[in-house]
Amino acid sequence: MSSPAATPLDARSFDLVALGLAAVLALYLPQLPWWLSAALAPILALRWWRRRHRQARTPAWLKLPLLAALLLSIVSWYGNLFGQAPGAALAVGLLVLKLLETETVRDARVGMSFSCFALMAALLFDQSLTATAGVALGLLPPLAALRSLEPGRRPPSSLWRELPSGLGLLAAALPLALLGFLLLPRLNSPLWGAPNPGEQRSGLSDSMTPSGFTRLLVDDSPALRVGFDGPPPPPEQRYFRAYVMDRYDGSSWTYRDVANQSPVPVEAGQTVRYHISLEPTRQRVLPTLDVPLAAPPDASLRRDRVAMADKPVTALRDYSLESAVRYRLEPQLGPHRARWLQLPSGFNPRTLALGHAWRQRHGGDDAAIVQAALALFHDGGFRYTLAPAELGRDAMDDFLFDTHEGFCEHYSSAFTVLMRAAGIPARVVTGYQGGYWNALGRYLLVRNSDAHAWSEVWLAGRGWVRVDPTAAVRPQRISQGAAAAVPGQLPWYQSGWLQAVRNRWDIVNRWWNLSVNGFDALRQRGLLKPFGIRDTDASTLALLLAAGCVLCMAGGLAWVWRRREPEDAARAALRRLERKLARLGVARHAGEGPRDYLQRAAHALPAHHDRLIELMHHYLELRYAHPGPVTGPVRALQRAVRDFPVVRVVK
């Protein structure tokens, strides 16, 4: 006789298993290479169709080549099988291939158990509220499939009626999950080791090439959130600097990290205190409002007042700062002047000639040269667009004299080259500008689409002065934000109701980041502060965890006890009859069936013979002659047992 685990899988349970694997594949789509998703989805669909309509098994000669192809393709794509990305691809691929040999209950249990693990492992890539909700929804089909495979359960009558059972299991696990989240000791480093170095999050780079910002400018995901001690600064002061770039090779600007020099002096006027929550970027730069006065903890200020963290930002990073929005930065340039005048030879001859001509025309008036460049952008027929024409080797010549279209990278790069050609120290600064002020949450939401590039020029007596040439072409980019800069090109982004929904939804995301993703070891130690306990040590956490587990188990047992199936009414009537017969001296033997027992009682009690035989037939008919529970005949049996006398009758 075969074991229950080797029982062939019925069609409805197989549907649930296939649906569970489809949920895993769908959840991992953002992490998988496109070619792997395009291969696994048809394999899963074809296997389901063949099993449902032909009851056909997959031959071994096909399964082994598919397994070899999976391993070789992952190694070829990633270079190895180790790390989050290749490990996820391998796990999802093996799960789909497991469906090819899923024929028994044992196979289904193994596949669904590993599916639950794979779904939870997806949180290693993304811990946002939407990702967590996606994992929870993805768990429903595997849990429902495991529920349908329990011994003694009837096959699911309907696929959609079985899914709520997975929801019940998920809800039952929530109390223990909450206890584990609050009370299990927090680690100081990630459980799964360092993040994959090849994986990059969307964010600013330490180099800038015209047209390189396009990916960021259409990325609607949050980059950082800023809360201010007082009222927020006006839009024209919402410049968050990240990289200050000095090197230019004719096509790209590059940031040079100078870690062994003190920050340049700044004479601060108006200052602002604020707090930033920075999304993970896998980089070390910490965006700051304009010119920071000091570095946040676990970070340092570079020479040009760029804030650099000691380690890459791989998780949500909170830091508080004070910055100057009115200032004189590096009033004396000193020996570093040549650094900000460097231009490669042999590039952009027309641009260099224009800068030299301005110097000849305006002499030593640097401010007049700056205004001449801004007037060129304002009156020279330039257009702001996210889809500019391609530029050649002399990119700035092509932009200034031919295409006349681009976005912030083009304008800041061209302006800086013009200033250097005219002998004015200049540099490119990248970061973010603008943001949406969320009055309900009282914070400024800055998205990746708010990425921006501007210029700084050094003027005698004023130091480094911010000049944003993009504002000369499209002032709305500064005053109204990134969405207003490109009219008609991003209608989905500029939709008022969609922006309102999206920005208000961010309040929920911010709460999630602060309360869930931001729940670290420090906050765990202060968990019991409202109860007068300053520092919650490991022993206290263990005691609370044990007590919570006991309470959860007790609550579960109480719930099971209340939800237990009521005793069969016919069997209850028989037990009542057994007690009456025992009082008459005829007790039921262990292992004795109801037919044999009642026949023996009828022979032992001749006065009740006919009544006992009638009760026996009545009971057996109720127990074995009907496919489901009945009510009317059971009541008749109950009345007959109730009226059965317990006084021995002598004939």
Report, as residue numbers or ranges, the catalytic residues. 408, 452, 468
Residue 457 and residue 419 in contact, taking contact as beta carbons nearer than 8 Å: yes
Rounded Cα gap, residues 639 and 576, in angstroms: 11
Residue 198 and residue 407 in contact, taking contact as beta carbons nearer than 8 Å: no
Rounded Cα gap, residues 448 and 439, in angstroms: 20
Both tokens assigned to 230:
């007082």
Q: Which residues pair with 222 in a beta bridge?
A: 447
- Give the three-class secondary structure for 599: helix
Long-range contacts of 538-543 (CB under 8 A, 24+ apart): 538/185, 541/183, 541/184, 541/185, 542/183
* Helical pair 159-183 and 538-563, crossing angle rounded to 10 deg: 150
CB atoms within 10 A of CB 69: 13
Q: What contacts 1, CB < 8 A, 6 or more positions away? A: none
Both tokens assigned to 589:
């033997």
As a whole number of Å, the end-to-end CA separation of the chain is 53
Rounded Cα gap, residues 419 and 413, in angstroms: 10
**Closest-CA residue to 320 (of 424, 395, 249, 229):** 229
Both tokens assigned to 357:
């001509």
Both tokens assigned to 139:
């768990």
CB atoms within 10 A of CB 82: 12
Diameter of the chain measured on Cα atoms: 141
Rounded Cα gap, residues 100 and 71, in angstroms: 17
DSSP 308-324: EESS---S-EEEEEEEE
Helices (H), 32-104: 34-53, 60-78, 84-98
Residue 274 and residue 255 in contact, taking contact as beta carbons nearer than 8 Å: no
Burial of 106 (0-12, 13-18, 19+ CB in 10 A): middle
Kindly state the helix (H) or strand (E) to which residue 169 belongs, with its residue range: helix 159-183
**Closest-CA residue to 162 (of 7, 12, 11):** 12
Q: What contacts 339, CB < 8 A, 6 or more positions away? A: 246
Rounded Cα gap, residues 157 and 161, in angstroms: 8
Rounded Cα gap, residues 222 and 216, in angstroms: 11
Dihedral sign for Cα atoms in the order 366, 372, 378, 384: negative
